[in-house]
Structure 1
Amino acid sequence: MHDPITPPMTAARAQAIAAGFDLRALPADFLANPYPVYAALRESQPVRRMPDGSVFLTRCADLMAVYRDAQTFSSDKQVEFAPKYGVGSPLFEHHTTSLVFNDPPLHTRVRRLIMGALTRRAIAEMEPGLIALVDQLLDAMDARGGGDLIEDFASAIPVEIIGNLLDVPHEDRGPLRAWSLAILGALEPTLTPQQQAVGNQAVTEMLAYLRTLVAARRRRPGDPERDVLTRLIQGEAGGEQLSEVELLQNCIFLLNAGHETTTNLIGNGLIALQEFPDEREGLQRALHDCAGDAMAEETVLGRAVDEFLRFESSNQLGNRRALKDTQVGGVDLPAGTLVTLCIGAANRDPAQFAHPEVLNLTREGNKHLAFGFGIHQCAGLSLARLEGRIAIGRFLQRFPDYGLSAAPVRGGRARFRGFLHAPFSVR
């Protein structure tokens, strides 16, 4: 869980922490609470040169500058992933073909197809089904007197929503979470041979399944206004279609990206409310005062969801590569420099956020970077916000006095910050 708010560290202490920071050799206690390290880096070495020659950015302004300049900073990861995974390996083929690690024109084509099925109207039409799903999960936990916030609730919601978007049969959805955890886990800065093997196996198994699903959808297309897979198969009217490899790999991306980050949003939010009882009480009071006013409730919950995303960003790290000699934060970067964008640090930058170490569910003007920024801003951010509002709002309505029955278990990863387990009981 979160450590109590730590007092400001001395300049000497910040310098010592920053000087020893290496993303590939993190200290044992880093994953439990990385924020003091991030604060030291922002204070002492906001553009931190790593032993491997890459740089690690922690200031919000520096991240924004990189996000804005897609001409200088590439999202293509082939140079970095070749030695990490091995050219031709399943993990290499997946991560170098998916939307998030590509530049235009592939990125533009795939994103446009996805966004065509995630219109405001399409997302609004998902709300009744989402409410029914959440209530079904709440009913099951209510009958048992509790459960696990992650396994029984937070992770079950996005799997169903993304499964519906791709029209994956319900009976086929069982392996999706394990596949997702294995593939995204392979994005960690360092990998064990076992993690790499499990990740490669997950990609292989997922591709085998998706080939069958795609073949069935080619025979019987769905509604392209709602079925993302049909849109990806058909491509743009009169335009270029995705290759089979591009199609399959971006289906994997959609299933994974929509699952892990939203699971973390819901789980992190509900656990944060346990750790900040005053904020929890204030949120519940504000929801009570809405008195059935749907728009007011959406505003209250929307503000809370954005603060959960800022305070505990589901995705903590992003990556770019400098295509030419440039500067960030006054530091020269030669062409080819690999850049790590620390979203978790930027979202607690005091230059951007007042009292950033404090969870404030009424915070206004919350321009956090949890969804990224620029051409790579998360395509599903409106859907993720809807899932967060409905899940957290209805959970609090059903279980206003819930409490953790055991210490929650962290996911143990630097890039994706969330929990694997969080047992709770209904008091």
Structure 2
Amino acid sequence: MSISCITPSLSAQRAEEIARSFDLRNLPQEFYANPYPIYDWLREHEPIRRMPDGSLFLTRHADLVSVYKDAQTFSSDKQAEFTPKYGAGSPLHEHHTTSLVFNDPPLHTRVRKIIMGALSRRAIAQMEAGLIALVNGLLDRIEEQGDGDLIEDFASAIPVEIIGNLLGIPHTDREPLRDWSLAILGALEPKLSREQEELGNSSVREFKSYLQGLVKERRQHPGDPEHDVLTRLIQSEAELTEIELLQNCIFILNAGHETTTNLIGNALIALQEHPQALSYLLSIHEHSAQEVRQQTTDFDRNSSIEARWDTAIDEFLRFESSNQLGNRRATYDFELGGQTYPAGTLLTLCIGAANRDPSVFTQANALQLDRSPNKHLAFGYGIHQCAGLSLARLEGRIAVSSFLQRFPDYQLTDQPVRGGRARFRGFLRAGFKIS
């Protein structure tokens, strides 16, 4: 297939038309296919955009950083927004107002500390061998078939297994995890249909019911708290209520699944649009072999290879941010861009736009896999920076590098299907074949 049509171009005139009437609750299909020309116009002409609902839409990197830094002024608590959206007492309301990401200290501090204990550098290093084995098993299956789907057969299968292992979910119980996650996160979209709301609520109910049984079993047969996040959470019940325990288990799956799936899928599909970037990655090991003559140990060589891959993964995260939007609510009057705004103002932080801000990134709309430094905001910033960022980078590096080493000549067989969401940018399907 032609690889030039994966991300369609948008004329400057059409981008301006969409930007001038920009409303997250009423977006045209062109936006979902390629939002970046619209973000470019907003960042240049209206970087603090007053939305029809009175909220602010921020697109400059510096503005996002200033909001992220000031957690006292800019709250992550979403009660005020989620109560009218979902209805008080609904499963979606209970979940999204209890999970780590939409809370402030002290709940945020307590839960993050527990989770981070299972995501230490040592713990993540111990996951690497199992992750490599998992990826190789998926690649073996693809090689037997001769083709597959980049998302269903590869990108989405990896984080589901990794998070399933962290929570100690039996393999026989993992089939519904991806669908639950997609439905719950899909309900975070700015415009929510009745069908999305019903599916999101039923997914929270089903997942919560499943977890209640799993928690009961784990209380009777605890796992190793150094690796089993669920056991760690259970043993910290003095600090967590039952609802906080269950809902943050759901959050761990959602946070670790969707963004990592998008990272891997976006990277492999972007390489089909950017053959020079693909050639660069395929040459990394060849260049590293030439450097061995000047290095004394395999550790030095492997560190060099991993460093280049880590740099490339960060660029994929910047170029196509898995999570495009964040939200805050002002608890005090504040100043931004020379204007004063009142307490209670809602803000949408456009990570996808900030990560292509030309004041921070040279050739911001170009994919440069050796970009350094790279001050992207794909993992957020400040106290809410992604707790699993090191694990996500590891999954991305091993998944993409192993795939390319095995199938350097892979080709898409049909037009990839995007997720059609504003908050999370990724693909649902992408058929491919191997040569």
TM bucket by the smaller chain?
over 0.9
Residue 293 (structure 2) aligns with: none
Aligned 1:37-186 pairs, distance under 5 A: 37-186=38-187
Runs of 4+ in structure 1 off by over 3 angstroms are 13-18
Alpha-carbon separation, structure 1, partners of 2:235 and 2:167: 14
Residue 3 (structure 1) aligns with: 8
Deviations 1:117-169 (A, max 9, x none): 10000000000000000000000000111100000000000000000001100
Alpha-carbon separation, structure 1, partners of 2:222 and 2:341: 48
Alpha-carbon separation, structure 1, partners of 2:221 and 2:33: 48
DSSP-derived class of the 2:401 partner = helix
Alpha-carbon distance, 1:329 to partner: 2.0
Alpha-carbon separation, structure 2, partners of 1:98 and 1:327: 29
Select between 27-36 and 243-252 the one with higher mean Cα deviation: 27-36
Letter in 1 for 2:334: T
Deviations 1:30-57 (A, max 9, x none): 1000001100100111000011010000
Alpha-carbon separation, structure 1, partners of 2:61 and 2:184: 28
Q: Decide whether the 8 Å contact of 1:234 with 1:241 is kept in 2.
A: no
Deviations 1:47-98 (A, max 9, x none): 0001101000000000000000001000000000011100000000000000
Aligned 1:13-24 pairs, distance under 5 A: 16-24=17-25
Alpha-carbon distance, 1:14 to partner: 7.1
Letter in 2 for 1:344: G
DSSP-derived class of the 1:30 partner = helix
Residue 295 (structure 2) aligns with: none
Deviations 1:96-121 (A, max 9, x none): 00000000000000000000010000
Alpha-carbon separation, structure 2, partners of 1:418 and 1:100: 20
Alpha-carbon separation, structure 2, partners of 1:334 and 1:127: 48
Aligned 1:241-390 pairs, distance under 5 A: 241-291=239-289, 293-390=301-398
Letter in 2 for 1:298: E
Alpha-carbon separation, structure 2, partners of 1:182 and 1:333: 34
Closer/same/farther in 2, CA of residues 186 and 361 from structure 1, 3 Å limit:
same
DSSP-derived class of the 1:354 partner = coil
DSSP-derived class of the 2:88 partner = coil
Query: With structure 2 as the length reference, what TM-score do the two structures score?
Result: 0.95
Letter in 1 for 2:97: T
Q: Decide whether the 8 Å contact of 1:47 with 1:58 is kept in 2.
A: yes
Q: Decide whether the 8 Å contact of 1:404 with 1:423 is kept in 2.
A: yes
Alpha-carbon distance, 1:300 to partner: 1.4
DSSP-derived class of the 1:327 partner = strand
DSSP-derived class of the 2:328 partner = strand
DSSP-derived class of the 2:31 partner = coil
Alpha-carbon separation, structure 1, partners of 2:264 and 2:15: 32
Alpha-carbon separation, structure 2, partners of 1:281 and 1:140: 25
Alpha-carbon separation, structure 1, partners of 2:19 and 2:175: 43
Alpha-carbon distance, 1:330 to partner: 1.9
Asked if residue 411 in structure 1 is aligned to residue 419 in structure 2, the reply is: yes
Asked if residue 231 in structure 1 is aligned to residue 232 in structure 2, the reply is: yes
- Unpaired runs of 5+ in structure 2? 1-5, 290-297
Alpha-carbon separation, structure 1, partners of 2:147 and 2:287: 27
Question: What is the percent sequence identity of the aligned residues?
Answer: 68
Letter in 1 for 2:104: D
Query: With structure 1 as the length reference, what TM-score do the two structures score?
Result: 0.96
Alpha-carbon separation, structure 2, partners of 1:260 and 1:73: 25
The number of residue pairs the alignment matches comes to 420
Letter in 2 for 1:181: L
- Unpaired runs of 5+ in structure 1? none
Q: Decide whether the 8 Å contact of 1:14 with 1:43 is kept in 2.
A: no
Residue 403 (structure 2) aligns with: 395
Q: Decide whether the 8 Å contact of 2:92 with 2:201 is kept in 1.
A: yes
- What's the Cα RMSD here? 1.3
Q: Decide whether the 8 Å contact of 2:151 with 2:429 is kept in 1.
A: yes
Deviations 1:200-224 (A, max 9, x none): 0000000000000011111111111
Letter in 2 for 1:250: N
